[in-house]
Amino acid sequence: MWADLLVEEILKTRAPGGQVVNDAWSPSGYAHIGSLKGVVLHDAVTRGLRDRGAPVRFIYGFDDYDPFDGTPSYLDTERFAPYLGMPLCTVPSPEPGAASYGEFFGRRFVEDFHRLGCRPEVYWGSALYRSGRMNEAIRRVLDRAGEILEIDREISGSQRTERHPLQVICESCGKIATTMITGWDGREVTYECRAEKVAWAAGCGQGGRRSPFDGASKLIYRVEWAAKWWVLGVTVEGAGKDHFTRGGSHDTASAVAERIFGYPTPFPIPYEFLLIGGAKMAGSTGKGVLARDLLEILRPELARFLMVRPHYREQKNFDPGGETIPRLYDEYDRAVRAFRGEIDEPELARTFVYAFIDEARPQAYRPRFGKVATLLQIPSVDLEAAVAEEKGAPLSAADREELAERTADARRWLSHYAPEAYKIEVQATLPPAAATLTAAQQGFLEALAQALASAEWRGPAVHNQIHELKNARGLSPQQAFGAIYRAFLGKESGPQAGWLLAALDRDFVLERLRQASAQRTAS
RNA sequence: GGGCCGUUAGCUCAGCAGGCAGAGCAGGGGCCUCUUAAGCCUCGUGUCGGGGGUUCGAGUCCCUCACGGCCCUCCA
């Protein structure tokens, strides 16, 4: 299990004291799936460290001092246009109930990752700056701006000419993305708010002089990353591979951390992307898969399992279509059984340790997902009774809850993602596929109609009738059952035929059997 | 151009601190009076992408090539 190996490596290479695991995200819209993967990954590592008895804190930052740099597609562009360039914490919330835009989306995301069992200590960038905790870092960065510019050029080949790696909030217009610092005297900075500094927001053209401390300014991204490590004492922090490219933001942040702050780079965890249906897509554009979208597709247990199961360096492409979801369900159930010691799969058992939301929950009886999906589609089946029979004991409250979850998931799967072959739908009229019936099959159906006219209208009785006639007429199971499925479902196979027919209206069944047997066949 | 990852049974993938190739699904066979999507038992010789190398021994380490995916713009 990769998380175990990481934990081991962390304990081996980091100071024996407590670990501080950090992750952060800029709340510029609804979080997308990758941000969620980040939280889960850091939570897993935290869980692993805790499991080994190591003192550990997991902190999570919302970078709501970052500038608002674009309106997501699901919001009104015109309404938010005036706020472009301001810190996310001073942009109004799109809905009532939050003090700011950043807080609104931050809180939404907290809800999402809480559902996945991640409960880091949350902190806000705005509070970090306003409280003065970043002051010393800001001072140091301003004093050594030249060195940082050098580091930037050396590591990333950046052509950045802006000397001060700091952005101050314009006192006139409140924007932070548009300002340029022109001087630093050890107490205050002078700045200009420029109309064309960035393409997506216009500065007011004013300038001024102010103290950069206590929330008046924010470090630029790469430098801020290093500063936060230092200020918060971070010892473990991963990021997506986009940050870990050579000369990328992580390289720069590491160099700044070590050379400017004299602080060792936290244990790095560069992780691969989770693709959904082959696409990644960004949250700020509003396109693509949001964290909450995934939670619409998969219940929290499975969503977390999906992110924890593959090696963190492995790119995973999750395509909810086909048999992906039933397979994921089966795999999760196997992990549960492995954890309980029912099957010998140590790797899976460990995976479960990192995947579970609520350790106690999986004690419930777990009927196979595919089976639930099938039974669900046969009207006569009492799901709870059927599952209780399989279990061999009455269902507990937890069993029923589990079954209800699965039933809801199965319904969703069937209506949105399941291949046609898994859908059982009795056709309202004789399906075209019935035209391919052979004479022998038609004879069989005709005889079946006669026999069923007076048979007991229950699954087992109908089932026996089918078998008797099949045997009497020397038909293979394929021929006999295939004929029934074609006549009713328009397909080659289906659920147990006796129960299927008994679930339907008798007259309807008899009529359909006669239609199918009377139809002229191509052959 | 640089980086990361992938290429293992028909399909989806495990296996990667080197030691006789695995699972699930599909498929074959069998049981439950009944093979037809519920349950149970049983069956897996595949150039582990190609080629070198290290080793007593390599999917498992090193080099190299090919194909595929993604990333290098503050998007995980």
- pLDDT, tens digit, for every residue of A55-70? 999 999 999 999 999 9
Q: Which nucleotides of B are covered by protein (CB under 7 A)?
A: 2-6, 12-17, 24-25, 33-39, 68-72, 74-76
Which nucleotide's C1' atom has the smallest distance to the CA of A461? B34
pLDDT band at A288 (very low <50, low <70, confident <90, very high): low
Q: Which residue is nearest to nucleotide B17 (CA to C1')?
A: A5
CA distances from A368 to A128, A318, A347, A381, A402 (A): 48, 21, 21, 16, 11
Query: Got the DSSP string for A202-233?
Result: ---S-EEEE--TTTTEEE-HHHHHHHHHHHHT
pLDDT band at A491 (very low <50, low <70, confident <90, very high): confident
Consecutive H or E run containing A512:
helix A506-518
> What is the number of residues in chain A?
523
A204 CA vs B68 C1’ separation (Å):
49
A462 or A390: which leads in pLDDT: A462
A393 or A312: which leads in pLDDT: A312
A322 CA vs B26 C1’ separation (Å):
14
* Distance of alpha carbon A8 from alpha carbon A10, whole angstroms: 5
For residue A299, the model assigns a pLDDT of 87
A238 CA vs B24 C1’ separation (Å):
32
How large is the ipTM?
0.81
A136 CA vs B64 C1’ separation (Å):
51
pLDDT band at A285 (very low <50, low <70, confident <90, very high): very low
Domains in chain A, please, with CATH?
A: 1-134+272-358 (3.40.50.620), 156-219 (no CATH), 364-423 (no CATH), 432-518 (1.10.10.350)
Count CB-CB contacts under 10 A for residue A465.
19
pLDDT in tens, A511-521: 898 888 887 65
Pairing between strand A179-184 and A189-193? antiparallel
Which nucleotide's C1' atom has the smallest distance to the CA of A494? B37
pLDDT in tens, A218-258: 999 999 999 999 999 999 999 988 888 888 889 999 999 99
**A281 pLDDT more than 50:** no
pLDDT band at A392 (very low <50, low <70, confident <90, very high): confident
Which nucleotide's C1' atom has the smallest distance to the CA of A470? B34
Which nucleotide's C1' atom has the smallest distance to the CA of A481? B36
Which nucleotide's C1' atom has the smallest distance to the CA of A33? B76
Which nucleotide's C1' atom has the smallest distance to the CA of A238? B76
Phi, psi dihedral angles at A466 (to 5 degrees): -60, -45
Which nucleotide's C1' atom has the smallest distance to the CA of A275? B70
CA distances from A17 to A13, A51, A69, A235 (A): 12, 15, 39, 10
Q: Say how far residue A95 (Cα) sits from the centre of its chain.
A: 24
Residues above pLDDT 70, as percent of chain A:
96
The answer to whether A223 and A165 have CB atoms below 8 angstroms apart is: yes
A378 CA vs B39 C1’ separation (Å):
18
A461 or A508: which leads in pLDDT: A508
pLDDT in tens, A21-42: 999 999 999 998 889 999 999 9
Picking from A87, A56, A89, A66, the residue whose alpha carbon sits closest to that of residue A237 is A56
* Distance of alpha carbon A162 from alpha carbon A198, whole angstroms: 13
A315 CA vs B54 C1’ separation (Å):
30
* Distance of alpha carbon A492 from alpha carbon A486, whole angstroms: 6
**A474 pLDDT more than 80:** no
* Distance of alpha carbon A115 from alpha carbon A106, whole angstroms: 14
The answer to whether A164 and A145 have CB atoms below 8 angstroms apart is: yes
Q: Which residue is nearest to nucleotide B3 (CA to C1')?
A: A245
For residue A208, the model assigns a pLDDT of 92
The answer to whether A288 and A280 have CB atoms below 8 angstroms apart is: yes
For residue A360, the model assigns a pLDDT of 65
The answer to whether A244 and A275 have CB atoms below 8 angstroms apart is: no
- Tokens for A345, please give them: 């799969």
Averaged pLDDT of chain A? 86
Q: Which residue is nearest to nucleotide B22 (CA to C1')?
A: A345
**A345 pLDDT more than 80:** no
Which nucleotide's C1' atom has the smallest distance to the CA of A307? B76
- Span of A85-94, A139-148, A184-193, A402-411 with lowest mean pLDDT: A402-411
A497 CA vs B68 C1’ separation (Å):
44
A224 CA vs B45 C1’ separation (Å):
58
- Span of A53-57, A92-96, A153-157, A213-217 with lowest mean pLDDT: A153-157
A292 CA vs B49 C1’ separation (Å):
38
Alpha helix positions (H), A157-268 = 221-232, 249-259
The answer to whether A35 and A291 have CB atoms below 8 angstroms apart is: yes
A2 CA vs B51 C1’ separation (Å):
31
For residue A282, the model assigns a pLDDT of 37
Which nucleotide's C1' atom has the smallest distance to the CA of A484? B36
Which nucleotide's C1' atom has the smallest distance to the CA of A37? B76
* Distance of alpha carbon A448 from alpha carbon A446, whole angstroms: 5
For residue A379, the model assigns a pLDDT of 67
A308 CA vs B19 C1’ separation (Å):
30
pLDDT band at A284 (very low <50, low <70, confident <90, very high): very low
Picking from A90, A284, A70, A79, the residue whose alpha carbon sits closest to that of residue A175 is A90
For residue A79, the model assigns a pLDDT of 94
A499 CA vs B43 C1’ separation (Å):
31
